[in-house]
Structure 1
Amino acid sequence: MSGTQTFEVRNLVFVSGERFPALIDGDTGVPDFEVTLYVLTQLRTRNLSASTLTASTRSVMFGCQVLEYMGVDLQNRINQGKLLEPGEFDRLMDSFFWTQEKLRQALSQSTEKPAPNRVLSLESVRKSVPAVDNSQTINADTAATRLLYFRDFLKWKVDRSLFALAATHENYQGLTSAKEFMVGTINARMPKGSAKNDLDARQGLSSEETVLLLESVKLDSDQNPWKSEFIRVRNRLIVHLLLNLGLRKGELLGIKVGDMNLEKNELTIHRRADDFEDPRSIQPNAKTNARILYVDQELASALHAYVVKYRQAVRGARRHPFLFVANGSGAPMSIAALDVLFSDIKDKFPSKFERLSAHILRHTWNDKFSEVMDKHRVGEAKEEEARSYAMGWKSGSGTAKVYTRRHVRKKANEVSLELQARFSSLDKQ
């Protein structure tokens, strides 16, 4: 793989509906042979999701671009029975915290690259790394995931070369040792994330934020960010579905008109990986279990009105079965378009919704669910069972804890304040 700055990851859609990410040369349109072979033989056979395959392919592309920026010809090193030097590992690890845009800038600005196999001192390597501000870096969790995927690719690439060598070859032992050192070094330096830090964890909207959000999507509101009547109707329905049912983005965008039974006020959430009816290269899909959810009469009426009055009036919408469609083309609404919806609301209220997203509404649903369960004094086991079904989680998986932080913290603070009041009253006696 050479000239990697011109490469891009494209999702190919097979006739069967399967999505396959390919690393494509932007100049020739030809997939990179080695990366395609790796994804086909090492990842696709493990029945991984399309999103996981895409993330892995992007990570491999990023890592190869980093090596290019460093002036490292990896295949040439392998042919000589060598890999990276200690100082180069430092530079590699630091670069994996860069955004793709930062790496792209670094590649375009790099005019003097070291010779492919020249050993550099640690100090010279550190001095050559450009300054990076915080807006051009990713978090430790994302960097670790990216690095894990690239580590596995590197190991496979070296093993493939070793397989072609006889055990008595002069480079065999050196390359084997270099591989073990590489894997050990990357594992030892793997970034430690803050996923378990409850203070940084995502939580739902406050009551005030929820009220403002619902006000902003009212059809006749002066605060509504959209002008088109169709977009106002569609986006209001989307916000209400996310907020009232706690759906994921993929679940929402994967809903088909036939999934609704409005006579019974039922909505079925399906898992449809590699759906041949879905023309989107990046297919929105449910990550959780299929389930039947109930909607109230007001929401059912809004769904019915959207389908019969608005959706069918959009040219192109009848060519596919998906509920939410793009204005104008009528194509199934994309994940990017859904993200724009929430960006529009944040732009309308720049000081009010700093962390608004579709997934934040899933957290908001869970906060409200906890409050209702407390109000009805539902036991912890029954509450977790009901929550797991509504969210599509496997019963007993423990996933619910991720979405109940705000409520747990609120209850803990309420108890703490009550204890403080008791101690204060004792002190005054």
Structure 2
Amino acid sequence: MKYTIKTFITSSGERLSQLYKTEEPDLPLFYPTAYIARTVRPSATHETQKVYLAVIRRVCEWESSRNIDLALSFRSRKFLTAAQVDDLANYLRASKLGGKGAVISSPKYNTYVTYTAGYLRWLAQELITDANTPEIREALAAQDTMLLRKKRRKAGSSSARDQRVVSARLSTDARNQLLDLFHQPFEGLRKPQDFGPRLRNIVMLRVLYETGMRAGELLSLKLRNIIEAGGGDSAYLDIERNHHDAIDTRLHQPVAKTLGRKVPISEHLEEQLRNYRDNWRADIPMAGFSDENFIFIVHRGGRSQGRALPITAFGSGLANLRQSFCALSQVRPHLLRHDWNYRFSIIADREDMSFEDECTLREQLMGWVPGSPMSRRYNLRHIEEKSQEIGRKIATDTARITK
């Protein structure tokens, strides 16, 4: 049996998703809907809710393929056997996109196992009237433990992951190609209808490069968020928290994961934003011009023309650029965020900035809360270089004493 997840927008702008049987598209599955509404939704973003539903969909698919009815089993006080737990864990780990034997990443799999255990625990407690008796509690705990033990303990060294984050940055060729496109955005184009979308995509990449903001924050920028230079102050972009934006008609709303903040931009980027807004965006039918309208919109003809640009359309635009310029083959929005932090570290060292100041300023510009572990992770490079410097001094001192 096949299942599908549908997303809706409420009148308040909140996004809600529900799980359906494909052959019964008018009625959402009762227990997954109740679980999300009562347990997950009060404390989780819509994106997190969709991950929960993706996991529950896998559980439902596993039930159907194995001819198991978990609700009926739990009502009868029958819990998963060790063999069923093994089988379910293997099903959760299998990759749907890869070939036979392909698996999802260990961190993603561990999340799936955790969410599955939580849902099954809730489902059993929901269906068993005397779930608080010692026997039922012990049986539930045993099932829970068996599932959670299936998490992969060796998902990779945390220090190795930190090192990958610290070292992630643009290659020299990719950086040079991007800088060339920032100044010559129409390079290689021939068709007039391609000029507007190309300029939009290059300006978006430049915003990511100069500010390090996330793609969701970029796609959420509205016309009012461009603050032009004046009174001696440079131009900046005002990033706002925008969950459940009633103005945003995109079903899968891009959102700002981090705190709202103001990020400065260069004079040339300010000029390019004005040029795009006043000379290219303004010519698109159905494009709005109020403060609430989004900066980056769909240019191509069709029902969505003039509306806010979806994340999928931005991804397609980047794919076209990667195809046209081989030096950009590895460029992704989040890589530009890593690269921004790499360049920030270089400037911090050049300015002889203290470790504490570097953390504070990075947190402010990235939108992280004070004391964020991400800030300290990026500052790891600074710590490593200082430790090497001190280590060399100690080694030199030892050599002098020996002599």
Same fold (TM over 0.5): yes
Higher mean displacement: 310-319 or 368-377: 310-319
Cα pair distance change 1:33/1:387, threshold 3 Å: same
Is the CA contact 1:81–1:174 (under 8 Å) kept in the aligned structure 2?
A: no
> Paired residue for 1:66?
62
Cα pair distance change 1:283/1:178, threshold 3 Å: same
CA shift digits 1:323-365 (9 cap, x unpaired):
1111221221111222223322333355x45542101100000
Are residue 391 (structure 1) and residue 363 (structure 2) matched?
A: no
Q: How many residues align?
A: 384
2: distance between equivalents of 1:224 and 1:236?
Answer: 16
Tell me the SS of whatever aligns to 2:28.
coil
> Paired residue for 1:126?
none
Match of 2:32, as an amino acid?
V
Are residue 194 (structure 1) and residue 156 (structure 2) matched?
A: yes
Is the CA contact 1:205–1:360 (under 8 Å) kept in the aligned structure 2?
A: yes
Match of 1:188, as an amino acid?
R
CA shift digits 1:13-53 (9 cap, x unpaired):
1000111111133333221121111111111223x211111
CA shift digits 1:48-72 (9 cap, x unpaired):
2111111111111122212322332
2: distance between equivalents of 1:403 and 1:12?
Answer: 38
RMSD (CA atoms): 3.1
1:206 to 154, 162, 171: 171
1: distance between equivalents of 2:152 and 2:281?
Answer: 47
Are residue 55 (structure 1) and residue 51 (structure 2) matched?
A: yes
By how many angstroms is 1:166 displaced? Answer: 8.3
1: distance between equivalents of 2:347 and 2:203?
Answer: 23
Where in structure 1 are there 5+ consecutive unaligned residues?
A: 106-130
Is the CA contact 1:256–1:321 (under 8 Å) kept in the aligned structure 2?
A: yes
2: distance between equivalents of 1:341 and 1:383?
Answer: 34
Match of 1:181, as an amino acid?
A
What are the residue-to-residue correspondences of 1:100-249 with 2, within 5 Å?
100-101=96-97, 131-132=100-101, 136-162=102-128, 164-165=129-130, 175-192=136-153, 193-194=155-156, 196-198=158-160, 201-202=164-165, 203-216=168-181, 218-222=184-188, 228-249=194-215
Cα pair distance change 1:402/1:60, threshold 3 Å: farther
Cα pair distance change 1:289/1:150, threshold 3 Å: same
By how many angstroms is 1:270 displaced? Answer: 0.2
CA shift digits 1:135-189 (9 cap, x unpaired):
x321110111122112111111100111x3487xxxx776544322110111222
Is the CA contact 1:204–1:406 (under 8 Å) kept in the aligned structure 2?
A: no
Match of 1:317, as an amino acid?
A
Tell me the SS of whatever aligns to 2:160.
coil
1:316 to 273, 286, 293: 286
Match of 2:344, as an amino acid?
F
CA shift digits 1:278-313 (9 cap, x unpaired):
001111111111111222211111111111111121
By how many angstroms is 1:381 displaced? Answer: 0.8
Cα pair distance change 1:249/1:166, threshold 3 Å: closer
Are residue 326 (structure 1) and residue 298 (structure 2) matched?
A: yes
By how many angstroms is 1:317 displaced? Answer: 1.9
1:376 to 341, 347, 351: 351
Cα pair distance change 1:408/1:94, threshold 3 Å: farther
Are residue 43 (structure 1) and residue 9 (structure 2) matched?
A: no
CA shift digits 1:79-99 (9 cap, x unpaired):
332122212211211222222
> Paired residue for 2:335?
360
CA shift digits 1:227-258 (9 cap, x unpaired):
70001110110111000000101110110001
Higher mean displacement: 65-74 or 362-371: 65-74
Cα pair distance change 1:349/1:418, threshold 3 Å: farther
Task: Give the TM-score of the pair, scaled to structure 2.
Answer: 0.86
1: distance between equivalents of 2:392 and 2:188?
Answer: 43
Tell me the SS of whatever aligns to 2:164.
coil
Identity %: 22
1: distance between equivalents of 2:192 and 2:113?
Answer: 41
> Paired residue for 1:94?
90
Higher mean displacement: 174-183 or 381-390: 174-183
Is the CA contact 1:83–1:175 (under 8 Å) kept in the aligned structure 2?
A: no
Tell me the SS of whatever aligns to 2:18.
strand
Tell me the SS of whatever aligns to 1:396.
coil
> Paired residue for 1:338?
314
Cα pair distance change 1:225/1:148, threshold 3 Å: farther
What are the residue-to-residue correspondences of 1:216-295 with 2, within 5 Å?
216=181, 218-222=184-188, 228-264=194-230, 265-295=235-265
1: distance between equivalents of 2:299 and 2:344?
Answer: 33
Task: Give the TM-score of the pair, scaled to structure 1.
Answer: 0.81
> Paired residue for 2:13?
17
Tell me the SS of whatever aligns to 2:156.
coil
Cα pair distance change 1:275/1:145, threshold 3 Å: same
2: distance between equivalents of 1:213 and 1:413?
Answer: 34
2: distance between equivalents of 1:174 and 1:138?
Answer: 36
2: distance between equivalents of 1:12 and 1:383?
Answer: 42
2: distance between equivalents of 1:148 and 1:178?
Answer: 18
2: distance between equivalents of 1:61 and 1:249?
Answer: 27
> Paired residue for 1:122?
none
